[in-house]
């Protein structure tokens, strides 16, 4: 294992984050804070409890997941797309660095940035809404697992994309709608029976509910199913990355 190469890629990507601190960290935290102000403090104070939890506290896990998914994908996809766009990807491919080390460097940095962002949003939420974390270990575990999984997914998008527009297609047109429709702002038990069944085909439902369970001990779906769904998606992403580096698809053409 070439630890020097992993560290070099990781440090380069983290340095890029600190050079664009307002865009990478401050902007997502500010945007999420506005959700807390509007939905948590203003609207939430006029709504009843959801599953025995105040509405303002109920939406915290969903809002963190909304930011975590988008930032994980964006950080990882942009990180690997830039070498492709600049043509420096060939230097990386010709260097004595395995694809495992490349993935660890890029995905590790993207996941780190996403986890930092998620924790900052969690701290910021305390300024607007009172909440509790019943299972802190599982909260951190779900946070890390989700960040790594979707950073890996973003890495795949960065390899697939041919231009900057394609980097935004999946986060804006797929992930964000799925997150809003995945129980971030409501319990799926509030939906009509038919829509409850349809919603279960949304993979984000399992992420949000697993994360919410770690806070309040309640969820719309079994926490074991949530964890299994996330791990399953992680394994699928790992398989796709392995295939891409094995065949050179979108790398050598």
**β-sheet bridge partners, residue 50:** 53
The pLDDT tens digits along the chain (253 residues) read 778 888 888 998 888 777 776 666 777 777 777 777 777 666 666 677 777 788 888 888 988 998 899 889 988 998 888 888 887 777 777 778 888 888 999 999 999 999 998 998 898 888 888 888 999 999 999 999 999 999 999 999 998 988 888 888 888 888 888 888 888 888 888 888 898 888 989 989 999 999 999 999 988 889 999 999 999 999 999 999 899 888 877 776 5
> How would you label 230-250 residue by residue, b for 16+ Cβ within 10 Å and e otherwise?
beebbeebeebbeebbeeeee
């Amino acid at each position: 294992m070439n630890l020097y190469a992993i560290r070099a890629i990781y440090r380069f990507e983290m340095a890029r984050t600190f050079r664009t601190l307002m865009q990478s960290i401050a902007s997502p935290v500010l945007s999420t804070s506005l959700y807390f102000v509007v939905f948590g403090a203003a609207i939430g104070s006029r709504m009843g409890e959801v599953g025995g939890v105040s509405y303002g506290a109920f939406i915290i896990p969903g809002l963190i997941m909304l930011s975590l998914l988008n930032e994980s994908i964006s950080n990882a996809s942009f990180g690997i797309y830039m070498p492709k766009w600049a043509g420096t990807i060939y230097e990386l491919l010709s260097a004595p660095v395995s694809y495992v080390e490349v993935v660890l460097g890029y995905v590790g940095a993207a996941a780190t940035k996403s986890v930092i962002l998620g924790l900052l949003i969690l701290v910021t939420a305390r300024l607007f809404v009172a909440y509790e974390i019943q299972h802190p270990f599982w909260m951190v575990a779900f946070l890390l697992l989700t960040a790594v999984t979707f950073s890996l997914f973003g890495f795949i998008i960065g390899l697939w994309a041919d231009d900057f527009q394609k980097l935004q297609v999946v986060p804006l047109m797929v992930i964000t709608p799925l997150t809003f429709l995945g129980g971030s702002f409501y319990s799926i038990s509030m939906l009509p029976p038919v829509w409850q069944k349809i919603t279960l085909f949304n993979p984000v439902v399992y992420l949000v509910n697993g994360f919410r369970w770690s806070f309040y001990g309640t969820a719309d779906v079994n926490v074991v199913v949530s964890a299994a769904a996330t791990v399953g998606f992680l394994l699928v992403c790992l398989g796709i990355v392995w295939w891409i580096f094995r065949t050179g698809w979108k790398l050598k053409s």
